[in-house]
């Protein structure tokens, strides 16, 4: 039981460690690797590069804060109500997010911001998933994982819209 609680509580902490790497390196990386990004995945780069280049660090941090609040809230509720179903979905979505960063690096054949922490956190993800077996394969957990991935994708989409609005607000107020 104690080990399980440690694994649950580690999720928001490790999420922040991972996102600190993104916060620190993302902007500089985009500026330095713009051409490689455009060359290797031109259709995606054409849509994402203009947005990411215009996103300020404060706006990006605001998005990270929203995700941290959601992950922390789910973690607290999981502990208080002794129910891991929703927490597992969030854990699964974050694990998938880490794998996506590793795949991005493979496609670009380059370091991408958050690659180091994505690789470093994989053992935690694999270990936690294995510790949650066979419960992780039960229908409620699988449904939670699928819904969490869908929610994560929608949340990221909305967050990027809100980050652009936040940047316009910052410009308006001279920040």
- Tens of pLDDT, residues 38-48: 888 778 777 77
pLDDT band at 1 (very low <50, low <70, confident <90, very high): low
Q: How large is the average pLDDT for residues 167-174? A: 89
What's the number of domains the chain is made of? 1
pLDDT of residue 38: 80
Three-state DSSP string of the chain:
CHHHHHHHHHHHHHHHHHHHHHHHHHHHHHHHHHHHHHHHCHHHHHHHHHHHHHCCHHHHHHHHHHHHHHHHHHHHHHHHCCCCHHHHHHHHHHHHHHHHHHHHHHHHCCCCCCHHHHHHHHHHHHHHHHHHCCHHHCHHHHHHHHHHHHHHHHHHHHHHHHHHHHHHHHHHCCC
**pLDDT of 87:** 98
Q: Supply the pTM of this predicted model.
A: 0.91
Tell me which of 5 and 43 has the higher pLDDT: 5
pLDDT in the model for residue 175: 58
Range of the domain at 88: 2-172
């Amino acid at each position: 039981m104690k080990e399980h609680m440690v694994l649950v509580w580690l999720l928001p902490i490790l999420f922040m460690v991972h996102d600190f790497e993104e916060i620190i390196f993302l902007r500089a990386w985009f500026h330095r690797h713009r051409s490689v990004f455009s060359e290797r995945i031109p259709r995606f780069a054409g849509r994402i590069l203009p947005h990411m280049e215009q996103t300020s660090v404060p706006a990006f941090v605001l998005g990270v804060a929203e995700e941290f609040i959601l992950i922390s809230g789910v973690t607290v509720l999981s502990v208080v109500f002794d129910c891991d179903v929703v927490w597992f979905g969030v854990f699964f979505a974050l694990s998938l997010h880490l794998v996506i960063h590793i795949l991005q690096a493979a496609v670009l054949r380059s370091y991408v911001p958050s690659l180091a922490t994505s690789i470093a956190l994989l053992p935690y993800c694999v270990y936690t998933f294995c510790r949650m077996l066979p419960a992780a394969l039960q229908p409620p957990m699988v449904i939670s994982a699928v819904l969490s991935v869908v929610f994560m994708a929608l949340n990221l989409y909305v967050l990027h819209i809100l980050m652009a609005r936040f940047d316009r607000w910052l410009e308006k107020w001279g920040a």
